[in-house]
Amino acid sequence: MLVLRLECPAAEKDRLIAELWERSTAGITEQDLPGGRSSLAAFFEERIDVSGLAAWLPQWEPVEDRDWVQVAQSQWSPIVVGARFYLAPAWSEDLTPPGRLGLVMHSGQACGTGWHAATQLCLEAMERYLAPGATLLDLGTGSGILAVAASLLGAGPIYACDIDPNAALAARDRLRAEGVAAGLFIGSTRSLRSESIDLIVANLNAETLLALAPEIARLRKPAARAILSGFPRRHLPRLRAAFPSPLEILERQDWAALII
Ligand code: SAH
């Protein structure tokens, strides 16, 4: 295990943290420094390419295995997302604040810890666009976090799909453990009936969203909504061209989501 130490202005910290999660860090600790700066320590199994991170003065250091687990765990703090959710790591002993729905952040291999801004945009949109009893499809479920969130919000039938069998298995285990009944598809949603879904939530990337546009259109009921997330703001023009007249555009840090 290695630790990558970086320093940045405090205002850039969230963006840098999201980027480190994108690069598959195993955990991050952060510390505020005097002068409005922050120091981050990101843990990795092996060295990654840091050429794009040069502005943040990256420094590699070896770290003892037993240290990083303890350190990373003790520093992952719970966060509130939107008006309804409270995300906390499994080992947190804090109680979910009254009126909020508690979601466990898993630090496993599948995407979907809940730390990423794109996931948080999905959660914020779901709490506003998911009507109780609605049929939901979590397209690209990763660890299953959005399917669990849908269940907490009172969704009706829940379907989840992932092309990565490992992610689908991780989602299956999580959904079972949390008592969420969901239909799980590995690979594609082709066996789902046309016009059968009330709300689709797809936290993918721009290319995949564009490629899946026909499938999303096929699955939506005529009045259904879709939350399309997982892409940086700079891709908005391409997505708006493919999904014209969105109902709403949400933005968080460098990330955007379209509600159609
Ligand atoms: N829904 C989670 C995980 C998002 S990561 C969250 O919001 O945090 C995106 C997931 O989509 C990955 O697990 C990836 O394997 C999956 N994925 C990528 N392309 C896909 C496709 N064409 N169909 C279904 N899943 C896909």
pLDDT exceeds cutoff 80 at 75: no
**pLDDT at position 92, please?**
81
pLDDT band for position 32 (50/70/90)?
confident
pLDDT band for position 69 (50/70/90)?
low
**pLDDT at position 107, please?**
61
Instruction: Assign 166 to helix, strand or coil.
Output: helix
**Lowest-confidence pick of 12-16, 145-149, 225-229, 231-235:** 12-16
d(CA 216, CA 226): 8
Rounded mean pLDDT, 186-193: 94
User: What are the tens digits of pLDDT across the range 117-158?
Assistant: 899 999 999 999 999 999 999 999 998 999 999 999 999 999
Ligand 1 binding pocket includes 146 (Cβ within 6 Å): yes
Pocket test residue of 105, 148, 161, 163 for ligand 1, highest count of atoms within 8 A of CB: 163
Pocket test residue of 159, 166, 174, 203 for ligand 1, highest count of atoms within 8 A of CB: 203
Pocket test residue of 107, 158, 162 for ligand 1, highest count of atoms within 8 A of CB: 162
pLDDT exceeds cutoff 90 at 236: yes
Instruction: Identify the residue whose C-alpha is closest to ligand 1 atom 13.
Output: 142
pLDDT band for position 109 (50/70/90)?
very low
pLDDT exceeds cutoff 50 at 39: yes
Ligand 1 binding pocket includes 140 (Cβ within 6 Å): yes
Q: How far is the CA of 168 from the centre of ligand 1 (A)?
A: 9
User: What are the tens digits of pLDDT across the range 190-212?
Assistant: 999 999 999 999 999 999 999 99
Q: How far is the CA of 138 from the centre of ligand 1 (A)?
A: 9
Ligand 1 binding pocket includes 224 (Cβ within 6 Å): no
115 and 78 in contact (C-beta within 8 Å)? no
CA angle, residues 41, 86, 96, in degrees to nearest 5: 110
| Selection from 114, 128, 40 nearest residue 81 by Cα | 114
**% of the chain with per-residue pLDDT over 70:** 92
Instruction: Identify the residue whose C-alpha is closest to ligand 1 atom 17.
Output: 140
Q: How far is the CA of 206 from the centre of ligand 1 (A)?
A: 12
CB-based contacts of 105, cutoff 8 Å, min separation 6: 76, 87, 88, 89, 90, 113, 114, 115, 145
Rounded mean pLDDT, 103-129: 82
Ligand 1 binding pocket includes 155 (Cβ within 6 Å): no
pLDDT exceeds cutoff 70 at 65: no
**pLDDT at position 131, please?**
97
User: What are the tens digits of pLDDT across the range 80-91?
Assistant: 999 999 999 887
**Lowest-confidence pick of 30-39, 51-60, 188-197:** 30-39
Rounded mean pLDDT, 153-168: 94
More confident residue, 29 or 129: 129
pLDDT exceeds cutoff 70 at 74: no
Rounded mean pLDDT, 33-53: 91
**Lowest-confidence pick of 166-170, 188-192, 211-215:** 166-170
d(CA 111, CA 122): 14
Tokens describing residue 153: 């919000």
